[in-house]
Structure 1
Amino acid sequence: MGEINEDIFDEKKIKTAIKKGKRKSILTVVFVSAIVFVSLNIVNFAAYAYFSQKAFKQWDAYVRLSTPNGYISETVDTNGILGGEAQYKVSKDMKIKSLVIEQNQYKFGMIPSTSISRGAGGSIAITGEDWQNTYKENGWRDLMFFHPNVTYQKYKKGEDLINQMSGDRIYEVALSFDKPYKQRELPLYELPALTWFWVNTYNGNQLETFQREAKENDWSSTFIREHDALGFSTNSPVFSTIQLDHEYKEFQNLLQTSVSQDHRKAYGKMKNIDSDDMEILGIVIYGTKDELADIIKNPIIKASSLGGVIDNY
């Protein structure tokens, strides 16, 4: 028989070998864990950045479409697992300056973060004795619109609005037309530099619903609320001869991008309609009483509504 290596029975050497093996295993586990941790964080951050940017575009499109001259002015994102949450501020351009009108939040990603928020909107005249106005967080009234192809029991009159206006303050006024107009047909030959156009994006079923509600419900609640009226704005004076091709194309892009399924349905209707055939149902304009009175008194104005008011400085 050959000689037996006595090292294999050396207890100290065996323990040393086991310790080295354990250390090597631990180091391997730590190294692999670190690689996995870093890799997962890179993947998570990439997903977070992607979904954050995508959600911002969708929500900003929603705000720009459904808040006349509104936009998301600030967001603060909180990172989660493959997603997160954004706190955002909505501002409105009021001709001479912009102001924050409300704050809200949205979630994004594959596994959005969980949070709880509480709040309540304000309204008045719930008894039907006056219009059931709703208000933004900063206290401004939400604008009211009246579709020209719907017969309402009562309309907000321009004379009443003009009587509420005084001094040199800047007023936000929504004006609903007596019928849908294409731009070339509008008998308003020059509009203020900041004008928002309410576009006819409604289908037959929606109009039937509006008409049924106007007939069956109390007059004080039957109108189209601000967030249900879609449109786009211009930042230069608008003459009847000016084409709105660029603004209308951007409007179509926003409809396609918006987080709202209703907006994307509206895109399905509007994508085959060019700017020359687009129907305008009303406008939102900004200015002092003297600057707006003649437009408000125009015979094509069926109804009017007051929104925000700011001091002229």
Structure 2
Amino acid sequence: MNEHTEDIFDEKKIKRAIKKGKIKSIITIVFVSLLVFVVLNIANFAISVYFSQKAFKQWDAYVRLTTPNGYISETVDSRGFLGGMSNYKISKDMKIKSLVVEQKQNQYGLIPSILVSRGSGGSIGVTGEDWQFSYKENGWREMMFFHPSVAYKKYKNDEELIQSMEGEKIYEVALSFDKPYKQSELPIMQLPQMTWFWVNTYSNSQLDTLQQEAQEHDWSVTFIRENEALGFSVRDTYTGATDLAHEYDKFLKLLKTSISSEHKQAYNTMKNINIDDVEILGVVVYGTKDEIVEIMKDPIIKASSLGGVIDNY
């Protein structure tokens, strides 16, 4: 047996070769595992960020549409696998300052986190004796709206309530008109700084449903709640010559972006309607007691509903 044959069957060399092969295999497995781990984490992070940003845009549009002068002021996201959960605060601009009114959560992603929520109701009133109010988490009453094309059994009027309140306050009040008005037809020629306009986004079938509810149900529950009325704001003092086109265009984009299917339905109703033909059903105004009461005395005001109240400083 020659020298080369002896080397081939050298037991020590074979063990060393096997050991060296095992080490290489382990290193390869560890490297590949680390590489896969890093790639998966980067992919998971990228997917989570994408869906987080998408969810924020959708929910921010929803909040801006369902809360007059409301917006998401803060978000905190917790990310999981291909998704996560977003905790966010809703603030409301009250003309001289903004305040947090609610805190909400939503899930996002391909595999959203499990959301468990507990709470109790926020309605006050007894059917047939008082309006069925709803309240925000900060204690503010949610405003009521009354569509001018619907005949209600009773209308809300908070003028006496506002008159009875003391102190220097800024009041948020929803005012429903006696009929739909195009901007060129609106008899009110000036409104305080920061006015929210309630837009007629309702289809004929929706109006039929509202009218049927008003006829068949008790007056205490037949009204349009704050989160069901859609509109947009003008931050400066409104006059009859104010151009609403820019705000209306942003309003349409919010309808298209919102996560709500009802908002997308409203977008389909409104997308081909020019601002000059848009019907205004009411407004939400912000001002002192004297300013608000003066507006409420206008004959076109059919109903009034108090929302938030803050100290005037």
What TM-score results when the alignment is normalised by the length of structure 1? 0.97
**Corresponding residue for 2:264?**
264
CA distance in 1 between counterparts of 2:249 and 2:166 reads: 37
> How far 1:2 moved relative to its partner?
7.5
Deviation at 1:3, TM superposition (A): 7.2
CA distance in 2, matches of 1:290, 1:48: 50
User: Aligned residue for 1:58?
Assistant: 58
Structure 2 counterpart of 1:187: 187
SS in 2 for 1:309: strand
**Equivalent pair of 2:159/2:304 in contact (CA under 8 Å):** no
- Aligned partner of 1:210 in structure 2 is 210
Contact 1:158 1:297 in 2 (8 A): no
Tell me, in whole angstroms, the C-alpha distance in 1 between the residues paired with 2:39 and 2:264: 36
- What residue in structure 1 maps to residue 106 of structure 2? 106
Provide the aligned length of Structure 1 versus Structure 2: 313
Whether the aligned pair in 2 keeps the contact of 1:175 and 1:305 (CA below 8 Å) is yes
> What does the per-residue CA deviation read over 1:37-88, in whole Å, with 9 as the maximum and x for residues that have no partner?
1111111111111111111111000000110000000000111111111000
Q: Which residue of 2 aligns with 1:232?
A: 232
CA contact (8 A) 1:167 1:289 kept: no
Instruction: Determine if contact 2:92/2:99 at 8 Å carries over to the other structure.
Output: yes
Asked if 2 retains the 8 angstrom alpha-carbon contact of 1:147 and 1:281, the reply is yes
**Bigger CA drift: 280-289 or 156-165?**
156-165
Moved more, 227-236 or 44-53: 44-53
- Whole-angstrom distance in 2 between the partners of 1:164 and 1:80: 52
**Equivalent residue for 1:68?**
68
- Matching residue of 1:29: 29
- Structure 2 alignment gaps of length 5 or more: none
Q: SS where residue 179 of structure 1 aligns?
A: strand
Percent identity, please: 68
- Equivalent residues of 2:159, 2:293 under 8 A apart: no
Displacement of 1:311 in angstroms is 0.8
- 1:123 maps to 123
Matched to 2:62, the amino acid is: Y
Is contact 2:122-2:135 (8 Å) kept?
yes
Q: Which amino acid is 1:75 matched to?
A: T
In the TM superposition, what is the alpha-carbon distance from 1:172 to its structure 2 partner?
0.5
Q: Is the 8 A contact 2:176 2:304 kept in 1?
A: yes
Query: Within 5 Å, which residues of 2 pair with 1:149-298?
Result: 149-298=149-298
| Counterpart for residue 312 of structure 1 | 312
Alignment partner, residue 39 of structure 1 = 39
Matched residues in 2 for 1:99 and 1:35: separation?
Answer: 47
- Quote how far apart the aligned CAs of 1:234 are: 1.0
- Once residues 307 and 128 of structure 2 are traced to their aligned partners in structure 1, the CA distance between those partners, rounded to angstroms, is 20
Task: Give the aligned CA root-mean-square deviation in angstroms.
Answer: 1.3
Q: Counterpart of 1:205 in structure 2: which amino acid?
A: S
In 1, Cα distance between equivalents of 2:258 and 2:207: 22
